[in-house]
Amino acid sequence: MVGDSKIMYLSPGLYHRIIRPRWFTKTYIHDHIKSQFTVENKIVLDFGCGTGANCCMFGTEHYYGIDPDVNRVQFAKRLYPNHTFTIFDGKRIPMHNQTVDLLLIVAVLHHISNEQISEYLSEFHRVLKPDGKIIIIEPYLSRKKKFNNWFMTRYDDGEYIRNEDDYLQLFNNQRYDCTVLKKFQKLLLYNEIFFIAVPKPKNTQNDNPFLKPSFDEGVIPMNDTSQGKFFTNEAP
């Protein structure tokens, strides 16, 4: 998971069984996404993939999961050996420019400060295709659900649970247009917001401050036909 935790760290196995059991992931993540998007043959980057529970929605040749937690990435590789996972260094996303159709962020942003998110949003601009989208599902603070707000801030290990406007403003400030698709309750105690962010178009590469050279040292050529053809070289 991207970001820092303020409670006891769960081992990857416990996290997968307790926080991301299959029924839970299907009900509160997969079903919502599939109701709004066609995901077949889309190149998907799962930002903060954790133990890889979301990869089941996507084809093995189209899914790429990244996470800074080495143990969770290694667990995901063992659990889903046909999907692609790599370690994120917290700075540069290890993917080529303009290769991602859908960038998935699920329960990640509430672990990350505004400053960090602003840096990541610049990287998202770089890796997304011109018509790419960011899909976000996050817990949020609601004026109408004060008990839920208290419960989330008391028991969730994310230090940055925000209200709707604050989430959207983070993206708007970095040149994204946002659309809220749905708000729902998770296990009665969590307020969840489901929205998309789309980069505002730029006319030319020279105008785009986010588009940096893709072919750094160690980058896999784009004509590579292996599973990881959109990734830069993976960490072990």
pLDDT of residue 10: 75
Percentage of the chain exceeding pLDDT 70: 82
Higher pLDDT, 87 or 12: 87
In a domain, 2, yes or no: no
Read off the tokens for 223: 């004509």
- pLDDT, tens digit, 9 for 90 and up, residues 57-95: 999 999 999 999 999 999 999 999 999 999 999 999 999
Q: What is the CATH number of the domain that holds 31?
A: 3.40.50.150
Segment of 14-18, 173-177, 215-219 carrying the highest mean pLDDT = 173-177
Residues near 113 by Cβ (< 8 Å), separated by ≥ 6? 160
pTM for the model: 0.83
In a domain, 212, yes or no: no
Minimum mean pLDDT range among 10-14, 41-45, 120-124, 202-206: 202-206
In a domain, 51, yes or no: yes
Q: What is the mean pLDDT of the chain?
A: 87
In a domain, 227, yes or no: no
Looking at the structure of the chain, the number of domains it has is 1
**Mean pLDDT, residues 126-146 taken together:** 98
Residue 9 reports pLDDT greater than 80: no
- Cβ atoms < 10 Å from Cβ of 83: 23
The radius of gyration of the chain's CA atoms, rounded to the nearest angstrom, is 17
In a domain, 209, yes or no: no
In a domain, 217, yes or no: no
pLDDT range class, residue 21, cuts 50, 70, 90: confident
- Cβ atoms < 10 Å from Cβ of 170: 19
In a domain, 187, yes or no: yes
Residue 148 reports pLDDT greater than 90: yes
Residue 13 reports pLDDT greater than 60: yes
Secondary structure string (H, E, C) spanning the chain? CCCCCCCCCCCHHHHHHHCCCHHHHHHHHHHHHHHHCCCCCCCEEEECCCCCHHHHHCCCCCEEEEECCHHHHHHHHHHCCCCEEEECCCCCCCECCCCEEEEEEECCHHHCCHHHHHHHHHHHHHHEEEEEEEEEEEEEECCCCHHHHHHHHHHCCCCCCEEHHHHHHHHHCCCEEEEEEEEEEECCCEEEEEEEEEECCCCCHHHCCCCCCCCCCCECCCCCCCCCCCEECCCC
Domain ranges, residue 49: 12-203
